[in-house]
Amino acid sequence: MKIFIIGSSQYQKKMVDYAIKMESEGHEIILPALDDSLFKNTLEILQANKERMQNADEVHLFYDGKSHGAIFDFGMAFMAGKPLFIIYMNDKSIVDGMKEYAWLFKGESGHFESGDMNNKAWVTARYYQDIETLTKT
């Protein structure tokens, strides 16, 4: 099976270790994070990744919640209809920070109130509550 590994450059070691494991199991690995220096510019990298992804059977993802390149590659996988397997994903992202900030800041009083920043349940509950309110108006 041909596996195209995409991900955030900060996880390069994790991706290489994973690629070695997959190769030892008999898979053909495409890991573009190792060969970006072969190209003159970003457009060449994107074109090469597109062609290599089209020839892959699956896409495996390592994502830090921030990498624009990984988001772009995910979009290509989506458009190509490739199966996506999340191998490693950091569940912290700027979106979490935005939700937490919006929850803690009380606009009416103009003050911040304390809350348990590690309790994801209240973030999600507030977020969906706000979405429900928006959809009713």
Residues 108 and 44 in one domain: no
Domain housing 34: 2-89
Lowest mean pLDDT among 25-34, 42-51, 72-81, 85-94: 85-94
Residues 35 and 61 in one domain: yes
User: pTM for the whole thing?
Assistant: 0.66
Residues 75 and 98 in one domain: no
Q: For tokens 């070695």, what's the residue? A: 20
What pLDDT, on a 0 to 100 scale, did the predictor assign at position 101? Answer: 60
Tally of structural domains, the chain: 2
Say how far residue 27 (Cα) sits from the centre of its chain: 23
Residues 74 and 99 in one domain: no
Residues 99 and 128 in one domain: yes
Nearest to 56 by CA among 84, 33, 75, 34: 84
- 87 φ, ψ (degrees, to nearest 5): -90, -40
Residues 72 and 123 in one domain: no
Residue 69 scores a pLDDT above 70: yes
Residues 85 and 130 in one domain: no
Residues 80 and 105 in one domain: no
Residue 17 scores a pLDDT above 50: yes
Angstrom distance (rounded) from CA 121 to CA 48: 42
